[in-house]
């Protein structure tokens, strides 16, 4: 495992961490087998379409 040779300053650490941002999942509209229209994340599209998830 890599080990830093020197201590990283608090300022550098916080600047690095501040760059990370979570992004919202892109939603798609799916019609369930019972006729409802839902906005769901793309990765769940197939499960909702088949009726595996309520």
Any idea where the domains of the chain sit in the sequence? Answer: 29-53
Alpha helices in 1-54 (DSSP H): 10-18, 45-50
Interval 1-53: pLDDT, tens: 889 899 989 999 999 999 988 888 899 998 888 888 989 999 998 888 888 88
Report residue 50 as tokens. Answer: 């088949």
Q: Are 48 and 30 within 8 A, CB to CB? A: yes
pLDDT of residue 51: 83
Question: What pTM value is reported for the model?
Answer: 0.50
pLDDT of residue 35: 85
pLDDT of residue 39: 92
């Amino acid at each position: 495992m890599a080990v830093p040779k020197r201590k990283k300053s608090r300022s550098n650490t916080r600047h690095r961490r501040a760059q990370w941002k979570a992004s919202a999942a892109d939603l798609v509209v799916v019609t369930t087998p019972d006729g409802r229209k839902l906005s769901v994340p793309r990765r769940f599209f197939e499960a909702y379409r088949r009726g595996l998830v309520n």
